[in-house]
Amino acid sequence: MPEGVFDLFDEYAAAYARGERPQARAYLERAGEGADELARLLEVFVQAAPVPPPDEDTVALVGAWLEGQPPLVELRARRGVRVEDVVEALVSGLGLDPAKRAKVKRYYQRLEGGLLEPAGVAAAVWRVLGELVPRAEEAAGWRPEQAAAGAYLRVSGAVPAAGATGRARAAPGEPDEIDRLFLSGG
Amino acid sequence: MHDARDAEDRRLLEAGEHKLLLAAYFHPVRERCFLRLRDRAAGDEAAQRVFLRLLEELRRGKVYRVPYRVVVWMVCEWTLGGFWPGAKHEGTLPEEWDATASDAFAEWEDDHDLGVLLAGLPPRQREVLDLRYREGLGPEQIAERLGITRNAVDQALHNGHRKLREALGA
């Protein structure tokens, strides 16, 4: 096993023990060809290691989820960040056309409400968003409890359900930059 | 090694503090699901199914005679075993399971307890790795805590790591 893999394991495990919530995805990317081995080590470790106490954001995120509220809204609101603040940051941070601010706002609100697939959102969006609302990407992946239960019962391979668990689609016409940022990873 | 967590989980269970109880396992469960499925979206979907199952049992007032972390990891394993994204139903998730059969989980616990994994190491290596992976201390901090040289810490880490790799199945 490559030496680098265990160095990465050691780094992750120590950060985990300190309650820093390391993200395995980043470590697997660093492991390169050793990613499979590292994944196996880390999977055993997270089950074997003492569970650190949760931080306030995690408690808030889970609390919102249990109450049927979008976790991302909760994390944003806790920081006193308004939707308009987020929209302004996205428009200016991504160099978008200010005339399309309303479109950006609609997409962001869908994201908050669990109506967009986080995997389709570009890394650049998460980077800007994360500066205002840390852990936004994490929160966006968790639909409110009832919506998650609906997705749980969704028939495999069926057309996405309408309403809260449906997938947003681009407006008619050629997708523009904003559509690509929120629907197809940029 | 899990005594403090187990005691806190018992307290939260008795107090009906489901939010705090589940929040503690949010990151570990999410990480485990991602590590198994190697896809963040699928991992989050699986993790939410785990939490929905845990929540359903909590709301039913289900009583466990094994530590709650064992419950969490069992539900995780069942969910991941029969999971694919968007599936209607996990065939392997049991409707009922005998949480009173605590002996049944003794072997599982032995394989999933960092303290047990470290128990086979020589005392110095065990001490050093315990401080590294239970408290997250850096080598300098470990040296200061144990009153040994940095070089002694590095040696213990190097030798302990080799044995830990074997114990973790690498």
Q: What is the ipTM of this complex?
A: 0.85
List the single residue in A58, A153, A158 with the smallest CB-CB distance to B27: A58
B27 and A39: CB-CB below 8 Å? no
A50 and B22: CB-CB below 8 Å? no
- DSSP state at residue A164: G
Percentage with pLDDT > 70 across chain A: 83
- pLDDT band of residue A163 (cuts 50, 70, 90) is very low
* Highest-confidence segment of A85-94, B75-84, B89-98: A85-94
Q: Name every residue whose Cβ is closer than 8 Å to that of residue B75 and which is 6 or more positions away in sequence.
A: B50, B53, B54, B93
- Decide: B78 and B90 in contact? Cβ < 8 Å: yes
Chain A: residue nearest B77 by CA? Answer: A47
pLDDT at A160 over 50: no
Q: Name every residue whose Cβ is closer than 8 Å to that of residue B74 and which is 6 or more positions away in sequence.
A: B97, B105, B108
- Which residues on chain B are in Cβ contact (under 8 Å) with A70? none
B117 and A54: CB-CB below 8 Å? no
Q: Name every residue whose Cβ is closer than 8 Å to that of residue A178 and which is 6 or more positions away in sequence.
A: A96, A100, A103, A104, A107
> Which pTM was predicted?
0.83
Main-chain phi, psi angles of A179, to 5 degrees: -55, -45
- pLDDT band of residue B119 (cuts 50, 70, 90) is confident
- Which residues on chain B are in Cβ contact (under 8 Å) with A52? 24, 27
- pLDDT band of residue B62 (cuts 50, 70, 90) is confident
What would the two tokens of residue A114 be? 């669990």
Residue in A15, A73, A147 with CA at minimum distance from that of residue B27: A15
d(C-alpha A80, C-alpha A105), whole Å: 17
Q: How many Å lie between the alpha carbon of B69 and the closest alpha carbon of chain A?
A: 8
- pLDDT band of residue A151 (cuts 50, 70, 90) is very low
pLDDT tens-digit map of A95-139: 999 999 999 999 999 999 888 888 899 999 999 999 999 999 999
Residue in B27, B39, B108, B36 with CA at minimum distance from that of residue B70: B108
Chain B: residue nearest A46 by CA? Answer: B28
- Average pLDDT (B129-141) is 94
What would the two tokens of residue B125 be? 């290596």
Select the residue from B19, B20, B78 to test the A interface by mutation, using most A Cβ atoms within 10 A: B19
B26 and A50: CB-CB below 8 Å? no
Select the residue from A8, A9, A12, A46 to test the B interface by mutation, using most B Cβ atoms within 10 A: A46
Separation of CA B10 from chain center? 16
Q: How many Å lie between the alpha carbon of A118 and the closest alpha carbon of chain B?
A: 7
**pLDDT score recorded for residue B90:** 46
Amino acid at the residue A168: A
- pLDDT band of residue B23 (cuts 50, 70, 90) is very high
- Average pLDDT (B90-100) is 52
Chain A: residue nearest B68 by CA? Answer: A51
Select the residue from A3, A51, A72, A145 to test the B interface by mutation, using most B Cβ atoms within 10 A: A51
Q: How many Å lie between the alpha carbon of A136 and the closest alpha carbon of chain B?
A: 14
